[in-house]
Structure 1
Amino acid sequence: MEIDLSEAQAPVRPRFPAALLRPEAEVVAFRGRHRLLDELGAWCSGAGFAALLLHGPAGQGKTRVAGRLAARLAAVGWGVHRLSDGDRPVPDGTVPTLIVADRAETRPEQIAGLLTACAAHDGDRPLRLLLLARSDGPWWQRLRTDPLLAGATTAELAELDDDPAGRREAYAEAVRDLGAALPRVPGQGGHLWSAIAARLAATPRDAGGHALTVQMEALADLLDAAQFGPAPTGRSAADRLLVHESRVWSFTAAWHGLAVDERILHDVLAAAMLTEPTDRLLDRLAGEHRDAVGAWLADLDTAGHPLAERFCALRLAARPALAEILVEDAPERVLSVLAAARHPGLTELCVRHADRLTPAVLTVAAAADEPEPLLAALVRISADPDTPVDRLTRIAEGLPRLSPLAAEVAQSIAERHRRAGDEAGLALALSNLSIRLGDLGRDGPALAAIEEAAVIHRRLAGQQPELYEADLARSLTSLSVRLGAVGQPEPALSAIAEATELYQRLTDREPESYRADLARSARNLALAFGGLEMFAQALTAIQESVAGYRVLAVEQPGVFLPELAAALSILAINLGSLDEDEASRAAAADAVTIRRHLADRRPDAFRPSLAAALTDLAVRHIVLGEAEPALAAIEEALTIRQETGGEDLDWSLHVKSVILGNVENR
């Protein structure tokens, strides 16, 4: 994949008044946010990968902040890339790099692909991913399961001005700046904008603290003041601006000699604001006028129109049939607009086109501020007995982990397989159902589901071991987890012991396919033995796990070094439990070395685990009476935990108090 540079371009002459509101136009002077920019600058310091989500309502100023940060970094030699639709830039690592992903909530799959590329970053130079989104809702919780985002920072962009005096000053500044820019807009050069702006700025008003709202109010007031007759009342700034925009659209249509019904032109405009208008779409909307309408559209430059969401919402409400047409080309954009506008027909639209819209419904529901109509559609689609199992599976996979609806859908999938007599499908569905129920804290039903899955897989493995032994091993692993959750450690140990034996047999047959599963299962077996204070058996198991992970980490360090570090920490604990204190300290030190290397490359993800490993190492030093290195380790751990706000701060403080107590008692 090649990097698609989307650097800032030279300012172009705005073609319509509302274009002055575009973030990249930077017409209104940048205001405030200087402390935030300094904090973002500090976040960019240091090597390795780090990610940050900056979220806030539309028009709050996220894009402007990102642009300012990008300009600062570019000035000192950074590469700056703006993620565009369909783009997955791969940083080459030759220079420090910032990637900005705007509207991140609408492109989770694209960002997941980008994270895969970022995972290959060598960590020698800074690589920063700045995500901009309207919320940190379910879409973010789901995306954050990626290990690369484990320690990602989240920041909410507050209103720009929270006091009346500041809001009046912001309005006055916006009036003056927009008034100075309006003469550059075609058709707006005949007004005395400086005088109009001075008059409005002399009596500034409180237009709120939302950045785009203030600017829309200022621009609407300017344009209204330049018109003959009384200014309109009782309408929002967005709707007042749309009146002025409509005049531009009509004038441009007349200039092109278009004798076309205004409703058709507005349909085409909505289409262009939501998607790339293809010849097929223009044929459908404009018919014989396709070419002339296309030329008119190109003259308007509607891509990224600041009022697109409002205009499209109004148009789709006035013309329900238009949604049926546009949803074929831009399903996610159409559903997003309808959801934001609380369109009464949204649920019916989604149900009616469930075969095509289900993936888009899932994506938009995860990002929408008010997803209820979309969730209602998913409930109806899931309850329909004619809904195919693969669609139900897509719904279950696309819902948040803690969604009760996801568990209901998983239950429906299992019942479908049960009625069809599909044992293999039923066992898999029961395994997934167990996970969903466990996530919801329903441990009893979760255990029952995985017990049934294990019984089925055992029967299938007895009949066709080459096909189903791996499935049986996975079911037994899950069964061990569920038994542990309900306080049955002995049966849990039996289950994970049998799973480990199966993985050993599978590895003997197909080493490349199952070595990682065997190493993971041996680690889980060690934990099960340790929970029952069977430390000698636990030591044997964890030594096998460490040996397996050492080989895997050489072959794929990016994937298996974290697993090796975790296994070494368990090894240190087991050795300590058997009074093999020097070997325990050595294992803990190895874990710290690996964690430090990982934290250098990806500080957000691995500094918290480095703090945990340092705390463990400090304990090992205490046991050996090595106060000085113990204190150094715990001080570093505390510094990290205080900087990252990580968990277990109290435990690290307790370890430090023990160290200091030992020193005083010497």
Structure 2
Amino acid sequence: MRPTSRSDAAARPAAYRRAAEAFAAALPEVRGRQGPDWPALAAALPSLEANRASMDNALTLHMTALADLLDAADPGPAEDGAGPAAGVEDRLLLHERRYWEQSAAACGLSPALSTATLDAALAAALLVGAAGRDQAADVLRKVGGLADQPRDRRDAVLAWIAALYPSADSGPWGSLQPDRLTERLVGRRLEAHPGLAHDLVPGITEEQAGRLLTLYGRAAAHAVFAGQLDDQLTALCVRHRTVLAPTAMAVATQVERPGPLVAGLQQIAADPRTPLDTLRQLDDRVPRSQRLAVWACELAWHLVARHRGLPHTPRPGVEPAFPLLAPGGSGPAGGGAGPRRGSRHRRPFPGGRRPPGREPERVRRPAA
């Protein structure tokens, strides 16, 4: 990121004011936001300090203008300690949550369904997505608090989510914008309820798995979580290795902080409980990426080690390609004593010496 110049910093208050005025002009068109005098509220907002933290990011500046405007119209209770110190994303989510609650009551979902259940349903919908109504119904069926509900109740929840965030294509629901809000929403939910992600894995499609790991990884990168989601994401990959490991490889090459995913892949490769077929499949699909280069070497090492532990069952009529290395041969792998006296292999180099400047290579075991 390039250093912020003095002219950039000096222009921020004016950019903030323009953003607030633009939001004030648009908010009366939003359902449920017709009451306040938005232009007057925007004009009354205090000027932005030019050196205010994080305002060098245009999206943060615009989100701050919107949050300040919404706070001015409806301060509300400071739930969960959210406020300026918790980040502008949490402030905006407080206003979103009030909108969700009002909408759920209007749809007849609450108080029959608790706020926690509806929050979990919304987080699950955004976390894995769905290609159609059947897939959407399957996602909601995995949410605690909805699994034992009748189908028509789950259909009502689906309709509620679709009304909150309409789809721009043929999908059952859309998304919460900007992406940073979705990441913070699912991050807060997974921070308090990590089991939600585990519940969503059975029956998941490859596309849904990619969305799950991508959003989880991006949420874990938010500074507000201070790395607390990293171990949870790693544990998710390890526990559901046969389903998520191939996708974790692909996602690790795309997210900004691949560390938790790579840590999961390392544990999967080193764990003797990982099926050998799973390791083979991973080895076949390793993408060309510098991020995974070291892990790919470790995976190869563990594959060789696992193969060495397999019983040797030679096929009838098939001669080994390297007799000295075959089990039972005279080489080290076969347990023999090595080249016999008088054999043409006795002196591989003139004088029995290595070529000048060459040292024997050693294969080192990956660090634990």
Q: Same fold (TM over 0.5)?
A: yes
The 5 A counterparts of 1:212-231 are 212-227=59-74
Tell me which residue corresponds to 1:211.
58
The 5 A counterparts of 1:168-567 are 168-200=13-45, 203-206=47-50, 208-227=55-74, 232-258=83-109, 259-274=112-127, 275-276=129-130, 278-285=136-143, 286=146, 287-288=149-150, 289-301=153-165, 303-306=174-177, 307-328=181-202, 329=204, 330-340=208-218, 341=220, 342=227, 343=229, 344-396=231-283, 397-398=285-286, 400=288, 402=290, 403-420=293-310, 421=312, 455=322
Tell me which residue corresponds to 2:364.
none
Does the Cα contact within 8 Å between 1:191 and 1:226 map onto a contact in 2?
yes
Distance 1:257 1:215, change over 3 A: same
Q: Which has the higher contact order (CA 8 A, sep 6+)?
A: 1
Give 2:211's aligned amino acid: R
Distance in 2 between the 1:393 and 1:158 partners? Answer: 46
Tell me which residue corresponds to 1:626.
none
Distance in 1 between the 2:300 and 2:7 partners? Answer: 46
Distance in 1 between the 2:313 and 2:298 partners? Answer: 19
SS at the partner of 1:364? helix
Distance 1:423 1:336, change over 3 A: farther
Distance in 2 between the 1:225 and 1:322 partners? Answer: 34
Q: TM-score, normalised by structure 1?
A: 0.38
Does the Cα contact within 8 Å between 2:123 and 2:189 map onto a contact in 1?
yes
SS at the partner of 1:278? helix
Does the Cα contact within 8 Å between 1:331 and 1:360 map onto a contact in 2?
yes
SS at the partner of 1:187? coil
Please list the CA deviations of residues 449-485 of structure 1 after superposition, one character each: whole Å capped at 9, or x if unmatched: xxxx9847x99xxxxxxxxxxxxxxxxxxxxxxxxxx
Distance 1:196 1:358, change over 3 A: same
Does the Cα contact within 8 Å between 1:175 and 1:219 map onto a contact in 2?
yes
Stretches of structure 2 lacking an aligned partner (at least 5 in a row): 166-172, 221-226, 327-354, 358-368
Give 1:305's aligned amino acid: L
Give 1:334 deviation, angstroms.
Answer: 2.3
Distance 1:254 1:229, change over 3 A: closer
Please list the CA deviations of residues 161-196 of structure 1 after superposition, one character each: whole Å capped at 9, or x if unmatched: 972112222212211111111111111111111111
Please list the CA deviations of residues 334-384 of structure 1 after superposition, one character each: whole Å capped at 9, or x if unmatched: 222332324132222211111111112112222222222221211111112
Does the Cα contact within 8 Å between 1:159 and 1:211 map onto a contact in 2?
no
The 5 A counterparts of 1:92-171 are 163-171=8-16
Does the Cα contact within 8 Å between 2:136 and 2:158 map onto a contact in 1?
no
% same residue = 39
Please list the CA deviations of residues 424-457 of structure 1 after superposition, one character each: whole Å capped at 9, or x if unmatched: 9xxxxxxxxxxxxxxxxxxxxxxxxxxxx9847x
Distance in 1 between the 2:5 and 2:158 partners? Answer: 39
Distance in 2 between the 1:382 and 1:408 partners? Answer: 8
Does the Cα contact within 8 Å between 1:273 and 1:308 map onto a contact in 2?
yes
Give 1:278 deviation, angstroms.
Answer: 1.9
Give 1:157 deviation, angstroms.
Answer: 9.7
Q: Answer with 1 or 2: which has the greater Rg.
A: 1
Tell me which residue corresponds to 1:127.
none
Give 2:217's aligned amino acid: A
Give 1:158 deviation, angstroms.
Answer: 9.4
More helix by percentage: 1
Give 1:359's aligned amino acid: P
Over aligned residues, Cα RMSD in angstroms? 3.3
Please list the CA deviations of residues 291-335 of structure 1 after superposition, one character each: whole Å capped at 9, or x if unmatched: 221221221116221211110111112112211122343322222
Distance 1:355 1:250, change over 3 A: same
Please list the CA deviations of residues 30-73 of structure 1 after superposition, one character each: whole Å capped at 9, or x if unmatched: xxxxxxxxxxxxxxxxxxxxxxxxxxxxxxxxxxxxxxxxxxxx
Distance 1:195 1:363, change over 3 A: same
